[in-house]
Amino acid sequence: MSSIKRNLVYNFILSGSQLLVPLISIPYISRVLMPDGIGRVSFIDSFTFYFISIAEFGIMVYGMREVARARNNQEDLGKLVSELMALHMITSLLSLLLYGIAVYFVWDKIHDPRLLLFSVSFLLVGFFSCEWYFFGMEEFRYITFRSIATRIAGLISIFVLLKSPSDYYVYYAIIVTTAIANSIWNNVLLFRRIKISFAGIHWKRHLSFMWVIFLMDIFYSIPLMLDNVFLRFVSTETAVGLYAFTMKMAKVSSVLITDTLIVFFPRIISLIKNGNEGGLRATVLQNIQLIIFFSVPVSAGMFLLSGQIISVFLGKNFLSATGDLRILSIYPFLKAYSLFLSKQILISHNREKLFLKSTIISAAVFIVLTLVLSFLFADKGACSAIIITEMNGLLINYFYAKKTNMRLKIFDWKCFFQSICGALIFVPVIYAIKRMDMAEEFSLMLSVLVCFMLYVIFQVFIMRNEFVLQLKTSVQFFFRNKKLN
């Protein structure tokens, strides 16, 4: 079994846990903390994450790419890791200073020292972030089992420690503690493998290559991380709570798709470096097919089942967010495909400046739309701003990707048509199940299971979808080898 297929299986397991944990925790959290408490945590979490992105200085993408290139030379790899670790400590210190200034101006939106304490802790542990090393080395087995272990611990903590709306700060403490556990685990393993030495290193040599990636990350992070912040500036904590958890559900539903980009990225870099045009075309096409195959039915299901999803997972206090989820239902497809165009095509071909232009335009569109639409329509305005921003970014990235490599096939219309046809089956199925006299929870569960099974059967036996047939073979081979070992 090829390493990329094995990594895909591990990635599906990881993404599955990232999907399953929120599905278990969100119904409990939303009913205990209520929209106001969730709004408070979402604001400080988004605010903190943006400064973590500033501290990252583009090292995640750059480091992953450079580790993938240097992985077979232990001496060069050790030097690279030491230099990037030193650089990250410096940028983290500068980010912490900027964070302190920003807190002074937005304190009235935080107004809780406990939230600030955990926020600062989050920033401090980020000084030693090295996740890029493990992705560059394609160690998806380790990443999968480490993440699952910390997520389970966090999930148990949520049910044990959250008891009332006043426990919102405990919820944020659990989020931060989980991240800290991941970081410590990474560092322990990294320092066992790599001899980190800051003597005689030349971290400045990376700056000329990283400025574009840094600016790209900063502008890219604006719609990704500051949505809750901008919404809170012009609206209420309740609106942030309604939007934040609805948006979280949209992001969670797309995580299985977007996370696969990380699996393909190091391999695409390697194929480009070695001039393997045939392998590059095959890998890129496989990545496109995966995105389409999963994102189309997910988006269709979210739209058709939005009312039931909100009712079951968030509760009656969030029913007004049903319209939000309908607006966001196309998000999984837009986000996954736009990320594919930017990372797998533009960044892998060293066309970061083109992606930077795209992110600057998208960030400007997002800021204007979010402030205006959120002021007028609160959480629904924020949802509309996100979707318009994603559409804008996708179109620009598509144009740049076509210019970057004319020989690459960057969309599979046949797979898209097959997926659309399969998703159309959902309409009569969901309508029929809704007419049955059963509890809403069972109705939603039955709808998802039946639609999923019919979709896969339709793709395998009617459409003979090339991607799903290959995936089926890979999964069978993976588990057969596990049994033999």
**Locus of tokens 């400080």:** 44
Residues in the chain: 485
Please state, in angstroms and rounded to a whole number, the distance separating the CA atoms of residues 331 and 254. 8
Please state, in angstroms and rounded to a whole number, the distance separating the CA atoms of residues 19 and 23. 7
Please state, in angstroms and rounded to a whole number, the distance separating the CA atoms of residues 336 and 258. 5
Confidence of residue 477 (pLDDT cuts 50, 70, 90): low
**Token code pair at residue 429:** 């199925």
| Amino acid letter for position 132 | W
Cα dihedral 344, 269, 10, 293 sign: positive
CB of 58 within 8 A of CB of 216? yes
Of residues 383 and 272, the one with the higher pLDDT is 383
| Amino acid letter for position 307 | G
CB of 328 within 8 A of CB of 245? no
pLDDT over 70 at 479, yes or no: no
Q: What share of the chain is helix, strand, coil (3-state, %, to 5)?
A: 90, 0, 10
Per-domain residue ranges of the chain: 3-411
Please state, in angstroms and rounded to a whole number, the distance separating the CA atoms of residues 247 and 239. 12
Model pLDDT for residues 371-428, shown as the tens digit of each residue: 999 999 999 999 999 999 999 999 999 999 998 888 888 999 999 999 999 999 999 9
pLDDT at 14: 74
Q: How much is the average pLDDT of 306-321?
A: 88
Please state, in angstroms and rounded to a whole number, the distance separating the CA atoms of residues 481 and 476. 9
Please state, in angstroms and rounded to a whole number, the distance separating the CA atoms of residues 466 and 450. 22
Average pLDDT taken over every residue of the chain: 87
List the single range of 286-290, 297-301, 303-307 with lowest mean pLDDT.
286-290
Burial 338-370 (b: 16+ CB within 10 A, else e): bbbbbbbbbbbbebbebbbebbbebbebbbebb
DSSP codes, 339-361? HIIIIIIIITTT-HHHHHHHHHH
Calculate Rg over the CA atoms of the chain: 22
Q: How much is the average pLDDT of 325-342?
A: 93
pLDDT over 60 at 25, yes or no: yes
Q: How much is the average pLDDT of 306-314?
A: 91
| Amino acid letter for position 397 | N
pLDDT at 1: 46
